[in-house]
Structure 1
């Protein structure tokens, strides 16, 4: 990538970043997660050049790879060279190895969240790019049978999945950019990075999608456009998802959903039951998020509620995910409860 192409990429990044942030310019610090790999190295240096506020970096050592010390040393050298403050976290892997990757990911995000909270940083920069988005869509489509929200992939701006840090958002400004162009930009800028050997391990689902499935799709004859097209599909689905969420807010006002007693909500039964299933499910998510902070109700719990709505009985109560849903004649009452052990999904008629 020559100097003109690198300048063009940098301008594209700056324009995209400015469009993502609700207020521009920002004076608050931005925390960027840096692993030493090509993706996070590109994000660190693009933010260094384009972000108008103070930039700080964070590196988390999972203690799972033999090259962890070298990765940390590389990040320290890069940050010191450009006077970027660096925060380092360490993790002691548990003796119980079940779901180790998920535990490590949760520990990393908790460290990032705590660091951002301490800095009063509203955003954490994460280096997911176009291929990551394509892999996310394929994984959720083929292995999880995800619905619209899941197939929308990763959002460029999303709240942390931790209630205590809800004011901190994940910022993913590299989603429109391919790994190939980010790598070429770093090479042209003569910026080094470190390779993660685990990215070649086909025991991990993501690596199998990256190294086996995507290349086989490229054999269809569209070449490297496959990740771009999948990322564009995810963006279209995000727009459809946002439209449905907008409609849910309108429905909450029209039904209407009103306060009930001190800490509950009530709504008319028939208009709710007659809604299309997707809108009914999203309205339920909206109510539970309002009451107890749950972002999404499990499918089994929803199906249980739909079953109860079809019953002739005009009085019943069921519990799910921290709330009691009660039918009283033609009204539904939704109230938070303390869930006793072994009472999940309990129903009273």
Structure 2
């Protein structure tokens, strides 16, 4: 295995030489073999060990084993302890998910504070197979079947090409000491059920199953690459990015027989999971929407609009005093006294100062808001009706600000001024307000 490891290491992982490496080390056979291989290749390594306090005294014996090993071999070591059960209960997570989140958060913290270049884990080919089967049992897209990547940004998995049998043989031949996790014998966890019952059956059916599986994963990864390339090309044809939104043209998208697949490819990275609801949006009425934790997808006529979830119900009011010349938050406005009216636009209005009541108020629109649109001779109109006539999307409505004098609207900012504050022949003081 050492020769095979060297053959793998130098073509594919040669960039690790001279880097500062942090090894996630449980004390089990896999991580101790990885430590041994890297020490023999003279890599600069440190050990990171998590005590999850899930197995009583055994967890602390694992910790002591790692501490003694690191001291004996003069390896820098980082140890932390987690109350994993309490964390899982607080955040309503399974124990395994909680442990994963805790350890990787800590690993990345060490990466930052101790200036490590990479985190190395001892995942191997059998781990990859188990992950594939678990994802398959839950229902997944192709990315769930391509397995554990050998490199994921700063995380490297040097043993991914080796089987559990190869690792055990190497450990025995080189008299490597390790700790056996008693929980590995239990069928309490899904991964252990797969490991103890399903994988042995598959290997019994085909002794070369693991090797065949690795070839299949290579094919799947190539297929995923082609799918990603196709998704990029189609995205360029049907999507348009504007500010912090993405607009998907449904007329173009629905001409594709498999447009659901493209939506999945584009939207999964934004945390969406309600795929039936998303696919139904294409044929739903305007205004229907689907949410992920941080984003929203809304149907607006012939488009699906993706936008980040900011504070959609923002009620904050911002006061603008009489002598203010510039406002930089939440939007940029400038105020200046002028002698005459020059060309107006949606971005610039001119008002009669003597008609204004200070401080002015900058706020979001509310249902029931009414204004008198400039040029309509005093006829009132609901702001919501104005939005409808102008064919505003839901996202555009939510981003619109109103500039008010008391309870009266001066300006739907950037859209339409109010007739009541316009400059007339009797106006003595003119205030120019501009949106930048």
TM > 0.5: yes
Q: Is the 8 A contact 1:137 1:234 kept in 2?
A: no
Aligned to 1:337: 309
The verdict on how the C-alpha distance between 1:104 and 1:325 changes in structure 2, with shifts beyond 3 A counting, is closer
How many angstroms apart in 1 are the aligned matches of 2:148 and 2:245?
32
In the TM superposition, residue 34 of structure 1 has moved relative to its aligned partner by 0.4
Aligned to 1:323: 295
* Equivalence map 1:152-163=2 (5 Å): 152-159=146-153
How many angstroms apart in 1 are the aligned matches of 2:162 and 2:279?
42
The Cα offsets for residues 155-213 of structure 1, whole Å up to 9 and x where unpaired, read as 11124xxxxxxxxx221121110111112212222221111111111222222222222
Which SS does the other structure have where 2:306 is aligned?
strand
Which SS does the other structure have where 1:24 is aligned?
helix
| 1:251 has 2:234 as partner | yes
How many angstroms apart in 1 are the aligned matches of 2:219 and 2:155?
20
* Equivalence map 1:278-317=2 (5 Å): 278-285=261-268, 289=269, 294=270, 296-298=271-273, 300=274, 302-311=275-284, 313=285, 315-317=286-288
Aligned to 2:28: 37
Which SS does the other structure have where 1:217 is aligned?
helix
RMSD: 2.6
The Cα offsets for residues 66-118 of structure 1, whole Å up to 9 and x where unpaired, read as 21222122222322333221111111234475622322222122211211222
Q: Structure 1 stretch 230-239 or stretch 177-186: which is displaced more?
A: 230-239
Structure with the bigger percentage of helix: 1
Which SS does the other structure have where 1:64 is aligned?
coil
| Bigger relative contact order, structure 1 or 2 (CA pairs below 8 A, ≥6 apart) | 1
- Aligned pair partner of 1:228 in 211, 218, 226: 211
How many angstroms apart in 1 are the aligned matches of 2:311 and 2:150?
35
Which SS does the other structure have where 2:15 is aligned?
coil
Aligned to 1:12: 4
For structure 2, the 5+ residue unaligned runs are 314-392, 395-436
How many angstroms apart in 1 are the aligned matches of 2:28 and 2:148?
20
* Equivalence map 1:77-96=2 (5 Å): 77-95=68-86
The verdict on how the C-alpha distance between 1:50 and 1:243 changes in structure 2, with shifts beyond 3 A counting, is farther
In the TM superposition, residue 121 of structure 1 has moved relative to its aligned partner by 2.5
How many angstroms apart in 2 are the aligned matches of 1:282 and 1:10?
39
Aligned to 1:28: 19
* Equivalence map 1:140-179=2 (5 Å): 140-142=135-137, 144-159=138-153, 169-179=154-164
How many angstroms apart in 2 are the aligned matches of 1:280 and 1:126?
33
The verdict on how the C-alpha distance between 1:211 and 1:284 changes in structure 2, with shifts beyond 3 A counting, is closer
Q: Structure 1 stretch 180-189 or stretch 72-81: which is displaced more?
A: 72-81
Structure with the bigger percentage of strand: 2
For structure 1, the 5+ residue unaligned runs are 1-8, 160-168, 342-346
Q: Is the 8 A contact 2:281 2:299 kept in 1?
A: no
In the TM superposition, residue 327 of structure 1 has moved relative to its aligned partner by 4.1
- Aligned pair partner of 2:114 in 94, 101, 119: 119
In the TM superposition, residue 59 of structure 1 has moved relative to its aligned partner by 0.4
In the TM superposition, residue 32 of structure 1 has moved relative to its aligned partner by 0.8
The Cα offsets for residues 28-65 of structure 1, whole Å up to 9 and x where unpaired, read as 3111100111001111122223365x211100001111
